[in-house]
Structure 1
Amino acid sequence: MTEVVFAEGWDAPLKQTAAPLEWTNLLALKAAADEYYAQNGALLTPTRANLYRALELTSFAATKVVILGQDPYPDANKATGLAFSVGQNENWRRDSLAAIADLVERNESGTLNSGDLTSWAQQGVLLLNTRLNHRNAAVDQHTQVVDRTLNWPLLTRLILQALNQRTEPVIFVLWGNDALTLEKYLHNPQHLIIRASHPSQMSRRRPLHKGKVKAFDRSQTFRKIDAWLAQQQQEPIIWTN
């Protein structure tokens, strides 16, 4: 039986997309992540069990929408392995997720009743962070510093490149400058790219690149997704959770 490296259904397209040295480096990344968590698990978020959860819940073949985040939450009770999702945390209406919930409602796409976005992932929304781990705020003092120990951008890039090569159309949602830097890997015309500023409190009302990229609050992201899926005659995403 072949061992699953990252997640069932993802290993084959990743290996096919990667150059031989890149695949070797991906295997080294997996091994390094295993060792890093074995030695420092209490200092890291999300838990090791949730590290590849985005890929486990949304397969390569099932991916219809990619929403690209940045880093996992540094709080262990919020980091779920899904970008922007905070699970069943009672205080979920904060910062980025609050802005996302507001936009879903204003776009007449539904209502978020919790901060758990698992149902989105199960419907084909890949909630992918560009880096898959952070430091645990409860036990680590340097939580504001991005943890660059592991080469997660290699995995993120290859995921996007693999999806870019798919013949089935995908919607790529790029919120914020970090996500926008990865647009260069998305060049096939059958896909849709939605650009906006990041939904954080500091950025949600601020357009980017001299107004060429809309502010998150005015991006109509969910209305655009709904319309495009209908145009492609695909099943809609039920955003209400």
Structure 2
Amino acid sequence: MFNRQQAKSVSSVSKSNSIIISTKTKEKESIKDNLLLEKMKLETQRTRGLVVNMGLSWYKIFEKEFSKEYFQKLANFIADQREQGVVIYPPPHHVFTFTRMCELNQVKVVILGQDPYHGPNQAHGLSFSVRKNIPTPPSLQNIFKELKSDIPDFIIPKHGTLSGWARQGVLLLNACLTVEQQKANSHRNKGWEKFTDTIIQYLNDQSSNIVFLLWGKDAQHKGSRIDQKRHYVLKAAHPSPLSAANGFFNCKHFSKTNGYLKAGDLDEIDWSQLPSEDELPFD
């Protein structure tokens, strides 16, 4: 039988081996990440500046899409427009903000939008969200009103930056990821829909118990193939002032979302966890 000294020695060796294995694993992961970063730099060149600043967890899964014909046509279309002096939103380094703020394997809620805001300095890669020092758009104002009605403790912020939601696992995804200045829907049917359909299909197939918030006919059509046996799908009118009174107000999607997450032993979303004005990103 082992005496105490021998037991301590074995335990010490075991801990040392665990530390060595853990360190080697981290080193391997770091090497892989560095290789992916180098690969992404080449991707940025190949797509003429379209694929840039993408979260690694997303790039690992969706990199094959970037070499497909539809995406190359999309990349060329956007690059040609920019070279001709057309102003496109969001800026290149913000197109994939949603992938950096919300890890792919941590998505708990998906809020589908249509296309980015088309006014100056608004869009930054999160659906319905705007950059700092920009007035809150009408649709987002209505989202905040519904939140206040649904969750009385919610305090309507003085800004419209939703990065705090994204960091908790709320994927704020637009169907189209770019738009021409002052021309709503100008980048529809150029290829983005196919790319974002791929994202939704991946989440549908590879994850479970995600809450999908589908506001308006466009979002509901895009989410029509979501498996409602695997996921929780909530539908309502779009929060636009033109339609919010027709079923968005009083939909109670935010409390229903948290009720579903809680029932599944998942962390609820703190809808009030939005950055203070001193913490706002995206200068």
TM-score, normalized by the shorter chain, greater than 0.5: yes
Alignment match of 2:244 (pick from 204, 207, 210): 204
- For residue 213 of structure 2, give the secondary structure of its aligned residue in structure 1: strand
Point out which structure has higher relative CO (alpha carbons under 8 A, 6+ apart): 1
Report the counterpart of residue 59 of structure 2 in structure 1: 11
Q: 2:149, 2:250 within 8 Å by CA — same for their partners in 1?
A: no
Q: 2:238, 2:244 within 8 Å by CA — same for their partners in 1?
A: yes
- For residue 216 of structure 1, give the secondary structure of its aligned residue in structure 2: coil
> Percentage identity across aligned positions?
28
- For residue 218 of structure 1, give the secondary structure of its aligned residue in structure 2: coil
Q: Distance in 1 between matches of 2:92 and 2:213?
A: 26
Report the counterpart of residue 210 of structure 1 in structure 2: none
Q: Distance in 2 between matches of 1:179 and 1:69?
A: 7
- For residue 54 of structure 1, give the secondary structure of its aligned residue in structure 2: helix
Q: 1:32, 1:150 within 8 Å by CA — same for their partners in 2?
A: no
Alignment match of 1:237 (pick from 256, 266, 269): 269
Report the counterpart of residue 175 of structure 1 in structure 2: 215
Deviates more, 1:194-203 or 1:176-185: 176-185
Q: Distance in 2 between matches of 1:34 and 1:44?
A: 8
> Structure 1 residues 59, 30: CA separation in 2 closer, same or farther (over 3 Å shift)?
farther
Q: 2:115, 2:185 within 8 Å by CA — same for their partners in 1?
A: no
- For residue 173 of structure 1, give the secondary structure of its aligned residue in structure 2: strand
Q: Displacement, 1:235?
A: 1.2
Report the counterpart of residue 202 of structure 2 in structure 1: 162
Q: Distance in 2 between matches of 1:86 and 1:205?
A: 23
Q: Normalized against structure 1, the TM-score is what?
A: 0.83
> Structure 1 residues 145, 129: CA separation in 2 closer, same or farther (over 3 Å shift)?
closer
- Counting matched residue pairs gives 223
- For residue 10 of structure 1, give the secondary structure of its aligned residue in structure 2: helix
Q: 2:238, 2:248 within 8 Å by CA — same for their partners in 1?
A: yes
Alignment match of 2:116 (pick from 69, 72, 75): 72
- For residue 102 of structure 1, give the secondary structure of its aligned residue in structure 2: helix
Q: Displacement, 1:89?
A: 2.9
Q: Which amino acid aligns with 1:106?
A: S
> Structure 1 residues 11, 106: CA separation in 2 closer, same or farther (over 3 Å shift)?
same
Alignment match of 2:146 (pick from 96, 100, 103): 103
Q: Normalized against structure 2, the TM-score is what?
A: 0.72
Report Cα offsets for 1:75-130 as digits up to 9, x if no partner: 122111110001223521x4100100011111116223121101111111110010
> Structure 1 residues 95, 25: CA separation in 2 closer, same or farther (over 3 Å shift)?
same
Q: Displacement, 1:11?
A: 3.1
Q: 1:77, 1:89 within 8 Å by CA — same for their partners in 2?
A: no
The yes-or-no answer on 1:62 pairing with 2:62 is no
Provide structure 1 residue ranges, at least 5 long, that are not aligned to the other structure. 138-142, 207-214
> Structure 1 residues 54, 41: CA separation in 2 closer, same or farther (over 3 Å shift)?
farther
Q: Distance in 2 between matches of 1:219 and 1:29?
A: 39
Q: 1:64, 1:169 within 8 Å by CA — same for their partners in 2?
A: yes
- For residue 224 of structure 2, give the secondary structure of its aligned residue in structure 1: helix
> Structure 1 residues 26, 188: CA separation in 2 closer, same or farther (over 3 Å shift)?
farther
- For residue 120 of structure 1, give the secondary structure of its aligned residue in structure 2: helix
Q: Displacement, 1:168?
A: 3.3
The yes-or-no answer on 1:131 pairing with 2:131 is no
Higher share in helix? 2
The yes-or-no answer on 1:227 pairing with 2:259 is yes
Q: 1:54, 1:127 within 8 Å by CA — same for their partners in 2?
A: yes
